A = this chain, B = another copy of it.
Amino acid sequence: MESHGMNRIPRFADYMHRGWIDPEGKPELLHKRGAVENYDGHMGIGILNAIFASDRAVELAKEHGIGCVSIKNTTHWMRGGTYAWRMAEKGFMGISWINTESCMPLWGSDEQSVGNNPFCIAVPRKDEPIVVDMAMSQYAYGKLGVYRLAGKSLPYPGGFDKEGNLTSDPGAIEESRRILPTGYWKGSGLALALDLAATLMANGKSGSDMDADGLGSCGGCSQIFIAYDPNMFGEQEEIMEKLDRRVTAARNAHPIDSARPVTCPGDQTRKRRAKSMKEGIHVDDGIWRQIIELASN
């Protein structure tokens, strides 16, 4: 089951009813200069706004080599990697990130004081792109719940318990809300920098402004989309061969366990997608009942 698919529908509907998402909100061009465009998302549907913005970034890159779109006052884009991946499928390198409300303690703090601010890079290749979609927390809260329900410990520590001890017990972290930044101080610092960068580039709300407004998860956030034309400075064939050589070297790196070769970012998502295309989309029964109920209202 996907963390950001069907099971987000009830919350999405709830946000619409609260007025935190405006289904009529459309991106409005506020400013344009050179290779950069700045939009107001008018609290529209996050997925549609982000698709629009990433497509615009690609158009700007066609013209200027690099293209950058910033959008403010938008809403949750669901699976973050989607948009960089979309740029890569159009043959462009894509970079994107977002600032969110505070959901993780900054390093040295015991209160939620920074977003998990996912950062995404997609590199186009002849066949499948390499796609990183990386939140700045070591684990998502959703993942903690999955481990807790399965009665399992996390494979590596994922936060602090209420007494301030680093722990692999998912329930103890859900209770303390002291989820661990990825790489300790590193993920904390990068999360703050990405928040500031998104705020500055979009002239939008920062994570702490969103905390003050309290419009739910990612309500009123800022998002950045950068596209880059990979075929400017060399023969496409030459560059794609170079990337293939690098990816092949990664896949051939000597594995710790010979039964588990090294994978590349994007492989797992691609595998899950192939499974869904074949078997259909798996939906939790409870979520499905909620969706049926929402549809009948």
Q: Does A243 contact B (CB under 8 A)?
A: yes
CB of A248 to closest CB in B, whole Å: 8
Given the interface pairs A109-B255, A183-B187, A186-B134, the reply to whether A203 lies near B233 with Cβ below 8 Å is: yes
Contact in complex: A232, B31 (CB < 8 Å): yes
Contact in complex: A192, B130 (CB < 8 Å): yes
Contact in complex: B228, A68 (CB < 8 Å): yes
Nearest CB to that of A235 among chain B residues? B203
Task: List residues 259-285 of chain A with CB under 8 A from any CB of chain B.
Answer: 260-265
**Residue in B34, B38, B253 whose beta carbon sits within 8 Å of that of A111 in the complex:** B253
Chain B residues near A187: list those with CB within 8 A.
Answer: 182-183, 186
Mask for A162-186, Cβ within 8 A of B = 1, else 0? 0010100000000000000011101
Task: List residues 174-210 of chain A with CB under 8 A from any CB of chain B.
Answer: 182-184, 186-187, 189-190, 192-197, 199-203, 205-209
Q: Does A234 contact B (CB under 8 A)?
A: yes
Contact in complex: B206, A245 (CB < 8 Å): yes
Contact in complex: B245, A33 (CB < 8 Å): no
Contact in complex: A228, B254 (CB < 8 Å): no
Given the interface pairs A31-B232, A234-B203, A265-B192, the reply to whether A260 lies near B108 with Cβ below 8 Å is: yes
Q: Does A242 contact B (CB under 8 A)?
A: yes
- Provide the main secondary structure of the chain A interface: mixed
Task: List residues 211-255 of chain A with CB under 8 A from any CB of chain B.
Answer: 211, 226, 228-230, 232-234, 238-239, 242-243, 245-247, 249-250, 253-255
In the complex the two chains form, what is the Cα distance from A208 to B246 in whole Å? 6
Chain A residues with a Cβ under 8 A of chain B: 30-31, 33-36, 38, 63-66, 68, 70, 93, 95, 105-111, 113-114, 119, 121, 123, 130-132, 134, 138, 156, 164, 166, 182-184, 186-187, 189-190, 192-197, 199-203, 205-209, 211, 226, 228-230, 232-234, 238-239, 242-243, 245-247, 249-250, 253-257, 260-265
